[in-house]
Amino acid sequence: MRCVSMPEVKVVNLWKSFGRRAVLKGVNLEVEDGEYFVIVGPTGSGKTTLLMILAGILKPDRGEIYFDGELVNDVPPEDRRVGLVLEKFALFPHYTVMENLLYGPVVRGEDLGRALNVAKEMLRMVLLEDRPDAMPTELSGGMKQRVALARALTAGARLLLLDEPLGALDARIRTSLRYDLVSMVKDMGLTAIHVTNSIEEAMEIADRMAVMRDGVIEQVGTPMEVYENPANIFVADFMSELNVFNAEVVSTGDGWTELRTEEGFTLRCSKGPLEKGMKVLAAVRAEDVDLEHGLGHGVNAVPSRVVDVEFILGFYRYVLDVDGRTLVAEEFSDRRVFKQGDEVTAKFRQDKILLFKQGRGVRVE
């Protein structure tokens, strides 16, 4: 089953404040027809407020919202054909699964026979066709979330808005259901905007993603574009754990630059030519640090000592001490190669050293 006439969404210069606190600060965003779009950012960045404005639950202070080129600022929520799926499921506890699905169509006075057929099809799509008479208390967390999704679709949603839809589930169900969710949305041809705090979730499911901070969209792109070419050091640090050095350009050429860090290390990166004497932030992702036994020296080599080792979901995280400052390296491995107290050399890959301007933190082009 595929829905038709899915909307493109356009947000123009959107502002929203609560009291004296500005929560959205001139947000501009475009989401394409049929796209699974993810908005990611830390708690308090404005993600949920933006979603509630798109749903019509909140009104912006200024700015415009367009669905397929039509201004919808004054269109009430029930007429926007938007399905809102929340973290807490928001099912009616005293209604059966089928009654939950039929609530919206019945309230709007739609033909009950047609609504019932649509509801049955939605339950089939979410693999719950055998549970129409179940009460919410009889369902697992994953089942409840699928009922919430089916209810939104039964109501005729063209645009699906998902606010941390997997956040209340345990890790195993969350990982499994995120793929089911995207698959169902794609099969139906829906446009979806999914809000999450989890960068891992965003990277796995998004066609494109927006990174938000403090009411501002910092960057939009595919997950790989945002990861490989972060617009600023905030985005880079949000995407992965960074090791950051204050540094100065000491020599440069076509496609290369050598830097001297405050600690006295020499770094060489695949960026240049740059202005000699330029002050930069040189950043290396933890996963781009290679460790070798023994204390080595030279370009992109930092002698250090292992002070802590953690195993996290398939990779080892090594915390290193470098004359009082901390570096972090991550290695995907099924065995621990280094142990606490080992003397090692942290080696940085030349093409993986990111440069940002000091002060503003924007990427050096």
Whether residue 149 sits in one domain with residue 116: yes
CATH of the domain at 124: 3.40.50.300
Whether residue 267 sits in one domain with residue 353: yes
Residue 160's region, left for phi above 0, alpha for psi from -120 to 50, else beta, is: beta
3-state DSSP percent of the chain in helix, strand and coil, to 5: 25, 40, 35
Enumerate residues 6+ apart whose C-beta is below 8 A from 156. 81, 105, 118
Residues 237-254 as b or e (16 or more Cβ within 10 Å = b): ebbbebbbbebebeebee
Q: Who wins on pLDDT, 153 or 353?
A: 353
Range in 87-101, 116-130, 169-183, 242-256 with the lowest mean pLDDT: 169-183
**pLDDT at 2 (0 to 100):** 42
Whether residue 17 sits in one domain with residue 149: yes
Chain centroid offset of residue 363 CA:
20
**pLDDT at 87 (0 to 100):** 65
The stretch 177-201 carries a mean pLDDT of: 85
Report the distance separating Cα 58 and Cα 319, nearest Å.
45
pLDDT in tens, 308-348: 999 887 789 999 999 999 999 999 877 778 999 999 999 99
Whether residue 90 sits in one domain with residue 77: yes
Q: Kind of pairing, strands 159-163 and 82-86? A: parallel
Which structure tokens are listed for 42?
């830390």
pLDDT in tens, 61-74: 999 999 999 999 99
Residue 323's region, left for phi above 0, alpha for psi from -120 to 50, else beta, is: left
Whether residue 133 sits in one domain with residue 245: no
Residue 56's region, left for phi above 0, alpha for psi from -120 to 50, else beta, is: left
What number of CA atoms fall less than 13 Å from residue 262's CA on the CB side?
Answer: 10
Enumerate residues 6+ apart whose C-beta is below 8 A from 319. 306, 307, 308, 309, 310, 326, 327, 328
Judge whether 63 and 23 are in contact, CB under 8 Å: no
Residue 1 above 50 pLDDT? no
Peptide bond into 273 cis (omega under 30): yes
Nearest to 43 by CA among 238, 223, 232: 238
pLDDT in tens, 210-234: 999 999 999 999 999 999 999 999 9
Final residue of a domain: which of 171, 204, 235?
235
- Count of structural domains, the chain: 2
**pLDDT at 146 (0 to 100):** 81
pLDDT-derived band at 3 (thresholds 50, 70, 90) equals very low
Domain assignment present for residue 54? The answer is yes
Question: What residue numbers bound the domain in which 174 lies?
Answer: 9-235
**pLDDT at 80 (0 to 100):** 87
Domain assignment present for residue 319? The answer is yes
pTM: 0.87
Whether residue 219 sits in one domain with residue 262: no
Whether residue 174 sits in one domain with residue 29: yes
How many other CB atoms are there within 10 angstroms of residue 52's CB atom? 17
Q: What strand order describes the sheet that includes 216-221?
A: 82-86, 159-163, 191-196, 36-40, 208-213, 216-221
pLDDT-derived band at 4 (thresholds 50, 70, 90) equals very low
**pLDDT at 277 (0 to 100):** 96
Report the distance separating Cα 251 and Cα 215, nearest Å.
39
